Chain A
Amino acid sequence: MSTASKPTATRAIGALPGHRPMSPHVEIYRMPLAAMLSIAGHRVTGVGLVFGLLLLTWWLTAAAFGEPAYATAMAFIGSWFGTLILFGFSLAFYFHLCTGVRHLFWDAGKGFEISDTNRTNQIVIMVALALTVITWLVA
């Protein structure tokens, strides 16, 4: 039973005043793909991209300082670690872009049906991965 294997979740429920039922909790609730795309695909990538902006600022500032500073920045970005970070940013960027565009459609009141969302889940993932691959093939 889950009582033995998930003591934290049990405690979380037991801690509620009056032991009232609670809405599905992240610890015990297997989130649907759309929710995972919202949390991991949009929010986490969004926070990650803020660090991408830090890297972008460093790159531009280095260029303003002159050629040696620019060369230092490019040497880091061109290293295997820098390239790995850049690849991560590109993946995060395309996921954030795709989930973000879907959010705009939701804001316009379109695509709320579960069947629509299941379909757009697949589109978001496929397009984000495809754009990442295409970008790195071109680069």
Chain B
Amino acid sequence: MTLKRASLRSPLGQARGLGSAKEGVHHWWAQRVTAVALVPLSIWLVATLVRLSNTGYAGFVSWFSNPIHVTVMILLLGVSFHHAQLGVQVVVEDYIPGHGPRIVVNMLVNFVCYALAALSIVSILIVAFKG
């Protein structure tokens, strides 16, 4: 911060109209909503992983022939990748200098997260319809 001003406009006048410093409260709130949702969902995933660790392919297919299990899994995947995207975005904004690179990297993070979410959800649906 420098005390020398090139303009006669006040600092407040210069800041007005530039919008908020970041993206507002939406990101923060979405991170909290997904976090709360993930508490039961992720514990369910761990229980599922433990259960399916030694049942083989047949056990996997039979577990996901239950529509409730498929639904919870899809919710978990969607919410997890959304939560991951929001979290990695903050890390990128904190550690990657420069406006341009930051936008590019965050765009890539978005693409990768939602592509993987789509892939994993389609995969579980394929298993569900097979079983």
Contacts and interface: CB of A to CB of B under 8 A. Distances in A.
B119 A61 contact: yes
A85 interface: no
Interface in B40-78: 42-43, 45-46, 49-50, 53, 56-57, 60-61, 77
Interface string A26-63: 00000000000000000100110110011011001101
Question: Which applies to chain A's interface (DSSP): helix, strand, loop or mixed?
Answer: helix
Contacts of A43: 91
Given A57-B120, A64-B123, A93 B84 contact: no
Interface residues of B, number: 30
Contacts of B116: 53-54, 57
A101 B39 contact: yes
Interface in B1-56: 32, 35-36, 39, 42-43, 45-46, 49-50, 53, 56
Contact of A56 (B60, B91, B120): B120
A102 to B, nearest CB: 11
A103 B122 CA distance: 33
Nearest to B61: A63
Contacts of B88: 47, 50
A63 B60 contact: yes
Given A53-B81, A60-B123, A104-B35, 10 more contacts: A49-B84, A53-B116, A56-B45, A57-B116, A61-B123, A63-B123, A63-B127, A97-B43, A101-B39, A107-B32
